[in-house]
Amino acid sequence: MTDVRLIHAQWSSRTAFILAASGSAIGLGNIWKFPYLTGENGGGAFVLIYLLCVIGLGVPIMMAETMLGRRGRQSPINTMRTLADEAGASHLWRYAGWLGVLAGFLILSYYSVIAGWSMIYILKMGSGIFAHTDAEAVARVFSSLKGEPEIQFIWHTVFMVATMSIVSLGVSAGLEKGTRYLMPVLFAMLILLVLYAMTSDGFGQGIAFMFKPDFGRLSGESVLTAMGQAFFSLGLGMGAIMVYGSYLPAHVSIARASLFVAAADTLVALLAGMAIFPIVFANHLEPSMGAGLIFQTLPLAFGQMPGGTLFGMIFFVLIFFAAITSSIALIEPAVAWLAENRGLARQAASFWCGLGCWLLGLGTVYSFNDWAGYTWLGKNFFELIDFLTSDLMLPLGGLAIALFAGWVMTSEVSEAELEMGPGPGYRCWRFLIRYVAPLGVMTIFLKALGAF
């Protein structure tokens, strides 16, 4: 264990970790899922509950996952085995590491396909195909895309090659440099889109919808949805934060770094809403359009607005950037494990992980067309993988992290790793990670089972 920790790569600074971990957390969940969930659940009241859940549920688990990663200094699987030995606990805890690695691998297999759609839409927006068109024509474009496996195959491949090319370069030359340049550009594009939205007639209405709570529109289901989104938007339970934490230098404060990452992730979600809802209201569209908001509603809106072609392209470039910073984090735990346990060079480990993920992603490509009639448990291939990962594996992984950090790891060890001292800050974290976080994650898990 000691030798592995000594040779383990590290981020060059706290800023490098914050940018990388923010890139891991910031993805389609922020820019695609958060706005449409906000629209479906009444706006401002949902946003307020979401923010409270980020603070009470997301941040404590992020601190715990980062702490476990830095303590173990290995891939999530080896980290959990090492820390279980250190605590005199059961070797079964290593399966919590396996759960996260497998979840990240499976998520990337379909994430890559959806990210490929965003790349296709960059070109479609640039071609002017959506200019002055109607809702029916926009819907036909999206339906046609899903019905063409050859096109999806090509862009799924392009996205996976781009992802694995970055990952194969390693921590400093690949992960760190990639996020160091991608994240500032992502923020710049998002702010540009918000400034563009400010010029629309719907800006005041959009802002009021997001930030003026109407608790009469909030249901118990909405609260559970906000809780789930707060957990998933931070990318917890999939091994990415743990493996990124394993590269964190010893002198960096885990608490402060986690707060910065959570703040950046939340800011992107809020900015995405501020960019999207004014455009929706300016075009007299419904904010509760659901999952089709990005690929059907927004192209229609951009097509009707001055400069919409250019800003529509910028929007889908933003989606691509957000997707690739998350994708490199999703596959990193599997690559790290192969490099540690099979003696593979990083380039070879990246190739084999990427190839496996790409092959599995073909199941998602064909889910929308040739294989649409094949279902398991009432779900097509894509829906099944999404359900297994998002609704089952990630909550179980998050629950395992909370229980291990709060109940298995001693207070002396966690206090030393977090470097918070025995004061109120540490006591608050320990209470949240032992009681509040497990209860919250278990509620998310039971909600998913009930929906199933």
Per-position DSSP letters for 142-158, written without gaps between them? HHHHHT-HHHHHHHHHH
What is the arithmetic mean of pLDDT over 270-292? 80
> pLDDT by residue (tens digit) across 83-108?
999 999 999 999 999 999 999 999 99
3-class SS at 376? strand
Residue in the block written with tokens 């965003």: 118
CB atoms inside a 10 Å sphere around CB 115 = 27
* Contact assessment for residue 434 and residue 275, using Cβ atoms and an 8 Å cutoff: no
CA torsion, ordered 13, 18, 21, 24, to nearest 10 deg: -120
> pLDDT by residue (tens digit) across 142-189?
999 999 999 999 999 999 999 999 999 887 777 888 888 888 888 898
Q: Which residue in 102, 99, 115, 80 sits closest to 445, CA to CA?
A: 99
Rounded distance between C-alpha atoms, residue 132 and residue 408, angstroms: 60
Structure confidence at residue 8 as a pLDDT band (50, 70, 90): low
CB atoms inside a 10 Å sphere around CB 316 = 24
SS (H, E, C) 49-104: HHHHHHHHHHHHHHHHHHHHHHHHCCCHHHHHHHHHHHHCCCHHHHHHHHHHHHHH
3-class SS at 121? helix
pLDDT at 377: 82
Task: Say yes or no to pLDDT of 1 above 60.
Answer: no
Q: Which residue in 59, 36, 171 sits closest to 425, CA to CA?
A: 59
> pLDDT by residue (tens digit) across 219-255?
888 888 888 888 888 889 889 999 999 999 888 899 9
Token digits of residue 79: 């980290």
Q: What's the first-to-final CA gap in the chain, in angstroms?
A: 42
| Length, in residues, of the chain | 452
Q: Can you say whether residue 259 is alpha, beta or left, with left for phi > 0 and alpha for psi between -120 and 50 degrees?
A: alpha
- Each domain of the chain, given as residue ranges in start order, spans 2-451
Residue in the block written with tokens 């080896």: 78
Burial level of 39, CB count in 10 A (0-12/13-18/19+)?
A: buried
Q: Which residues pair with 376 in a beta bridge?
A: 379
Task: Say yes or no to pLDDT of 43 above 60.
Answer: yes
Structure confidence at residue 64 as a pLDDT band (50, 70, 90): very high
3-class SS at 169? coil
Which amino acid is present at 235?
Answer: G
- Residues 6 or more apart whose CB falls under 8 angstroms from that of 244 comprise 17, 20, 21, 24, 66, 69, 329, 332
Q: Which residue in 442, 436, 396 sits closest to 57, CA to CA?
A: 436
Beta strands in 120-205 (DSSP E): none
pLDDT at 231: 83
Q: State the CATH architecture for 2-451.
A: Up-down Bundle (1.20)
Task: Say yes or no to pLDDT of 6 above 70.
Answer: no
Burial level of 2, CB count in 10 A (0-12/13-18/19+)?
A: exposed
* CA 67 to chain CA mean position, Å: 19
Alpha helices in 305-393 (DSSP H): 308-341, 346-367, 381-386
